Amino acid sequence: METVEEPWFSSGLRFKCTGCGKCCTGSPGYVFLSEDDTERLARHFGMEIEAFQKKYTRLVDGQSALLDRPGSGDCVFLKDKQCTAYEARPVQCSTFPWWIQNLRNPEDWDEAAVRCEGINHPDAPLVHSIHIHEQCLTYLDNLIQQNFNS
């Protein structure tokens, strides 16, 4: 019988969101939306889905993505370093930093920490590997919905 190798982060990782807003600002990037994300955000803002999409999204390579604030690389929902849609934020946002590309190895985790002060923060609690796995699966499920459900 083959043994399953434990991930390098099996003893957990330290993370605490500091509310700095850096993950929502600056460098170019996209927040891609699943249908569930779009519906949840539209409800949060009390809008019809079509009106929400017209006001807050754009198509990027055939996928719906949030707009940036005009004249910046900041998320359209970021105001005073706070997310105005926090309770309804997209899965891509709510699962950060538990993305596969940040967890492949310790070097990728440390590279993500350069951009996110909450990763390995001295006051951060230890996040157990089971929670990390759950967040990865949620992120992956969302990617599948974005790419294979039309």
* pLDDT, tens only, 40-68: 999 999 999 999 999 999 999 989 999 99
Reported confidence tier of residue 148, pLDDT bands at 50, 70, 90 = confident
Bridge pairing between strands 13-14 and 82-83: unpaired
Tell me which of 95 and 147 has the higher pLDDT: 95
Decide: helix, strand or coil at residue 82: strand
Note the Cα 55 to chain centre separation in Å: 21
The whole-model pTM stands at 0.88
Residue 129 has pLDDT above 80, yes or no: yes
Is the separation of the CB atoms in 90 and 37 below 8 Å?
yes
| Residue 63, strand partner residues | 60
How far, in Å, CA of 25 to CA of 79, rounded? 11
Residue whose token pair is 């920490």: 113
Is the separation of the CB atoms in 23 and 116 below 8 Å?
yes
Amino acid at the residue 133? H
How far, in Å, CA of 66 to CA of 60, rounded? 10
Q: Where are the alpha helices (DSSP H) in the chain?
A: 35-44, 49-56, 91-94, 100-103, 106-115, 129-148
How far, in Å, CA of 18 to CA of 117, rounded? 7
Instruction: Measure Cα distances from 11 to 69, 119, 131, 132 in Å.
Output: 39, 15, 11, 11
Residue 26 has pLDDT above 80, yes or no: no
